[in-house]
């Protein structure tokens, strides 16, 4: 068996590039969802807001500037092949150095404080929120998802009793979107994680935001639930920016895991119309 | 109604603006977010002056991204206003009248807006690249150590906004949604 060596410096370079590009280029599935919603929208102020949202991501792309000034915390997901050996430095340091360089060279906003209570900006947007997973193979898949906090602040997790059932989950999704209202820069993207443990449910919800909006959960039961809940959210009337209209959410993705006989954790990670992520394979 | 207005936001001008109006704003605004508001309110409680004259002033809740070479400012869309709710009534009590942000406000803020003829404008959250085009001048005036949260004086031209809450307390988040739902009910 051979082991492939990957230099830590290579990981740094990729993270740096992805931090910059993810903040300037909205993914195609997001753009297409915004345009589709604009075509279906019949409320004048909502149409106007969606037009400006399109204009905004076009300016960002053409002039290579951040789509949104909240260039987020850098959430970095690494899928590391088990036949890879990372040489020439520590992985955590390599990723943080990539974030540090990317946020500096890309003129991105440094939005991270070093202590949650005592505050104080770290000055370089580190540390990254780093997730690693060991997978088969000899590659490293790097995804950078800058996450803004206008929407992150509207996210919720709840530990349901199993007796709450499907209706409990449905009500929770609607209640969370209703409470979020105009705050998370609607039209929003809703990531739902059901099952696992307390922490895994939250991670599933975050990962649900990375799945393309034109995809669906492979389980028909959850694919149907995704469709139903998106339709119901878009009947609430909150609309783009909360000014009223049909387009409250651009998409809703659900991810699940097995869970304990006594529980049914459910986490909802709210995101905005600038749901950004970019991937590269080393 | 579409309006093109020039700052300062006098009481007389504020009284002509209504929730739901589309406004293109021209003039000088001051930027501040959580940390800047906290410092300004602490300064006021010590009896000190603010870094700018608050009379009829408009505050833009924004922490811009850094300017690239040749740019006036980086991306500069609004942040969530609710985090400034604890400070907004104090700011209005010393004369600041306009607020630009996004998201819901607490009843205490609306009460202060009625008392002091305040106006809450919404800019499109997430449209930082677009909104930066309206900013023609930017100057750092205080609290430089706060980085993106430092106080800046901006000159904006034809900045596209919507009146969310007017000085009578009318709220577009309630009325806009209700009107949409009513119209949809009728069209079904």
Inspect the interface and report whether the beta carbons of B180 and A274 lie closer than 8 Å: no
How many whole angstroms separate alpha carbon A236 and alpha carbon B164?
19
Complex confidence, ipTM: 0.93
B70 in contact with A at a CB cutoff of 8 Å?
no
Q: Which of B35, B65, B103 sits opposite A107 (nearest CB)?
A: B65
Give A-chain residues touching B146 at CB under 8 angstroms. Answer: 121
Residue B148 contacts residue B64 (beta carbons within 8 Å)? yes
Is residue A131 helix, strand or coil? strand
pLDDT tens sequence across B136-150 = 999 999 999 988 899
pLDDT tens sequence across B144-176 = 998 889 999 999 999 999 999 999 999 999 999
Could you tell me the pLDDT band of residue B32, with boundaries at 50, 70 and 90? Answer: very high
- The mean pLDDT value of chain A amounts to 97
Is residue A52 helix, strand or coil? helix
Q: A188: which 2 tokens? A: 């929003």
pLDDT tens sequence across B88-100 = 999 999 999 999 9
| pTM confidence score | 0.94
Return residues 92-151 of B near A (CB < 8 Å): 102-104, 122, 124-130, 132-133, 146-148
CA distances from A128 to A110, B86, B167 (A): 12, 30, 43
What would the mean pLDDT of A19-27 be, rounded to a whole number? 97
Return residues 169-208 of A near B (CB < 8 Å): 181-183, 185
pLDDT tens sequence across A207-247 = 999 999 999 999 999 999 999 999 999 999 999 999 999 99
B72 in contact with A at a CB cutoff of 8 Å?
no
Greatest Cα-to-Cα distance within chain A, rounded to the nearest angstrom: 63
- The mean pLDDT value of chain B amounts to 95
Q: Residue B74 has what DSSP assignment?
A: S
How many whole angstroms separate alpha carbon B81 and alpha carbon B84?
5
Tell the CATH topology of B2-187: fumarase (3.20.130)
Give A-chain residues touching B144 at CB under 8 angstroms. Answer: none
Range from A87-96, B6-15, B176-185 carrying the lowest mean pLDDT? B176-185
**pLDDT (0 to 100) of residue A25:** 97
Provide CB contacts within 8 A for B154, sequence distance 6+.
Answer: B28, B29, B30, B31, B60, B73, B135, B137, B138, B139
Q: B52: which 2 tokens? A: 């700018």
pLDDT tens sequence across B11-21 = 999 999 999 99
Is residue A100 helix, strand or coil? helix
Inspect the interface and report whether the beta carbons of A239 and B126 lie closer than 8 Å: no
Element (H, E) at B11: helix B11-14
| DSSP bridge partners of A109 | none
Phi-psi region of A181 (alpha: psi -120 to 50; beta: other; left: phi over 0): left
Give A-chain residues touching B162 at CB under 8 angstroms. Answer: 45, 241, 243
Q: Which of B20, B125, B184 sits opposite A150 (nearest CB)?
A: B125
pLDDT tens sequence across A159-218 = 999 999 999 999 999 999 999 999 999 999 999 999 999 999 999 999 999 999 999 999
**pLDDT (0 to 100) of residue B187:** 61
Domain spans of chain B, in order of start: 2-187
Q: Which of B74, B147, B177 sits opposite A244 (nearest CB)?
A: B177
**pLDDT (0 to 100) of residue A1:** 66
Would you say residue B188 has pLDDT above 60? no
CA distances from A155 to A5, A178, B25 (A): 39, 12, 33
- In B94-124, which positions are buried (b, 16+ CB within 10 angstroms) versus exposed (e)? bebbbbbbbbbbeeebbebbeebbbbbbbbb
Would you say residue B111 has pLDDT above 70? yes
């Amino acid at each position: 068996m051979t082991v492939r060596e990957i230099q830590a410096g290579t990981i740094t370079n990729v993270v740096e590039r992805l931090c910059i590009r993810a903040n300037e280029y909205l993914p195609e599935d997001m753009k297409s969802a915004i345009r589709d919603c604009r075509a279906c929208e019949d409320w004048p102020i909502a149409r106007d807001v969606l037009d400006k949202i399109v204009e905004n991501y076009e300016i960002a792309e053409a002039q290579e500037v951040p789509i949104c000034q909240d260039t987020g915390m850098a959430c970095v997901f690494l899928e590391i092949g088990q036949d890879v050996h990372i040489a020439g430095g520590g992985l955590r340091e390599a990723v943080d150095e990539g974030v540090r360089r990317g946020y500096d060279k890309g003129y991105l906003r440094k939005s991270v404080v070093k202590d949650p209570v005592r505050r104080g900006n770290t000055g370089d947007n580190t540390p990254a929120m780093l997730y690693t997973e060991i997978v088969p193979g000899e590659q490293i898949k790097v995804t950078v998802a800058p996450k803004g906090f206008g929407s992150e602040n509207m996210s919720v997790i709840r530990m349901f009793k199993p007796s709450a059932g499907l209706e409990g989950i449905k009500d929770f999704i609607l209640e969370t979107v209703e409470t979020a209202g105009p705050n998370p820069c609607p039209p929003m993207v809703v990531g739902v994680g059901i099952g696992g443990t307390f922490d895994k449910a939250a991670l599933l919800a975050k990962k649900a935001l990375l799945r393309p909006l034109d995809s669906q959960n492979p389980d028909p039961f959850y694919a149907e639930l995704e469709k139903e809940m998106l339709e119901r959210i878009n009947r609430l009337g909150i609309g783009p920016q909360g000014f009223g209209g049909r387009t409250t959410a651009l998409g809703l993705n659900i991810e699940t895991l097995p869970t304990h006989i006594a529980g049914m954790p459910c986490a909802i990670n709210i995101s905005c119309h600038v749901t950004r992520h970019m991937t590269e394979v080393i | 109604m579409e309006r093109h207005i020039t700052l300062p936001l006098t009481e007389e001008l504020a009284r002509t603006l209504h929730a739901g109006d589309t406004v293109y704003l021209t003039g000088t605004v001051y930027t501040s977010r959580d940390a800047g508001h906290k410092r300004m309110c602490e300064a006021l409680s010590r009896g000190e002056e603010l870094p700018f004259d608050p009379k009829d002033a408009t505050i833009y809740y924004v922490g811009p991204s850094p300017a690239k070479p040749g740019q006036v400012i980086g991306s500069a869309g609004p942040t969530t206003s609710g985090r400034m709710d604890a400070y907004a009534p104090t700011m209005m009590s010393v004369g600041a009248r306009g607020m630009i942000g996004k998201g819901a406000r607490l009843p205490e803020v609306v009460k202060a807006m009625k008392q002091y003829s305040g106006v809450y404008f919404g800019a499109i959250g997430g449209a930082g690249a677009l909104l930066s085009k309206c900013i023609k001048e930017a100057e750092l005036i205080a609290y430089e150590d706060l980085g993106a949260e430092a106080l800046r004086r901006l000159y904006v031209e034809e900045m596209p906004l919507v009146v969310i809450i007017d000085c009578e307390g009318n709220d577009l988040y309630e009325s806009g949604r209700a009107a949409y739902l009513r119209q949809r009910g009728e069209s079904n």
